[in-house]
Homo-oligomer: A and B are copies of this chain.
């Protein structure tokens, strides 16, 4: 059934020079930001319209060729990598803002726009798009992987901030999900189904996103805790008291040391919380003061407020540069980044067990967490020349996933499944994984949309 030659000829007729088959094109789309690797696609397509995307998918369907979407290549789990060749659809040329509706606090965009470009475009509206996974990912990729990040504790994840989609299905049909209204009770939540479906049910060609008012005032603080358990306990009390941190980030001892060294800041080598409040000047001042009290009751010291924009920027730059900072803490190391999420009541135990597990082996692994969500990451620093360390990192990653499940959590809070976590889906979902498989089969019976991902494989 598969006939790549005929398919590629049809695609070239459709796209001309916007179909790439040179080795460099293919290689560029065979590696994303981390260690995860797969095979090469047979071609890369750069469509400019939804009609072109629909025709690409229809041609691939007719010839039995796989199709995977590509955003900015910032996936940490290899979501967009080809497992069976086929065509990688790169959305770089579909990066427009289609409509800003400030009264409705809503924007309509093409999937290839990055979150930084979107927020630049929104600058004069008094509104912003809050979801911030760290990397300057595309909105299409963020929706496909259900991304979140530091601000999810207040503003939610992509699940909460995508109002509607346009999607090209496996047979080339184009559908719209959602409406312009803020909510609906009319039928299955297809928007929610496609968000996080990792390209296995269709390609997202347009997104309607929810916007939020730029806060009038922002207050940021950082403080040190005697141990991770005390920091987590402070977060639980903060949330239960009804404070609404816009971000509340944990850096463990090792992460604090690496980040402070890299940023030239003077932080004690203890676990830290970075916290930020958004609102009116009076509200953020009140919430920051209440947080300081809660933190102090849990043994926090060295609390530093950063209310001036330049101090705030320095602190969050440090947090956002955590990955290079941690990499720099072991020169020559390769980073293996893994992510789990647990009930917040289990977070201190999950982090403590993970730290002990890391300490018992050869691979350093500073820990960072979006602690208000129970979500944390280990950045395992592996000597690429050492098969032993690589194997140790794999075992640590596996035990983190198993630990998260044992503690009632999920094997990934925000990085997604991709190629790295497929082996845990049965353990996490049980027979519900077969329901995902049944939905996949119903919408993509030939299994051509991002094959080898997310659902049970035959």
Contacts and interface: CB of A to CB of B under 8 A. Distances in A.
B441 A187 contact: no
Interface string A400-425: 00001001111111111100010011
A384 interface: no
A146 interface: yes
A186 interface: yes
Contact of A454 (B187, B216, B412, B431): B187
A181 B196 CA distance: 16
A184 B432 CA distance: 15
Interface in A81-106: 101-106
Contacts of A441: 442
Interface string A422-455: 0011001111110110110111000000000011
B186 A428 contact: yes
A397 interface: no
A185 B431 contact: no
A215 B242 CA distance: 7
Nearest to A174: B431
A193 B188 contact: yes
Contacts of A280: 242, 286, 290
A433 B433 CA distance: 24
A439 B436 contact: no
B182 A105 contact: no
Contacts of A308: none
B425 A239 contact: no
A349 to B, nearest CB: 12
Interface string A142-182: 00011110001000110110000000010001111101111
B282 A185 contact: no
A279 B242 contact: yes
Contacts of A180: 342-343, 346, 407-409
A78 B291 CA distance: 48
Given A176-B432, A183-B341, A341-B181, A439 B103 contact: no
A422 to B, nearest CB: 10
A23 interface: no
A34 interface: no
B443 A182 contact: no
Given A159-B189, A185-B146, A435 B430 contact: no
A296 interface: no
Contacts of A101: 343, 345
A425 B282 CA distance: 47
Contact of A443 (B421, B433, B435): B435
A9 interface: no
A280 B290 CA distance: 11
Interface string A34-70: 0000000000000000000000000000000000000
Contact of A187 (B185, B192, B196): B196
Contact of A190 (B240, B414, B425, B435): B435
A185 to B, nearest CB: 4
Given A169-B435, A430-B175, A374 B186 contact: no
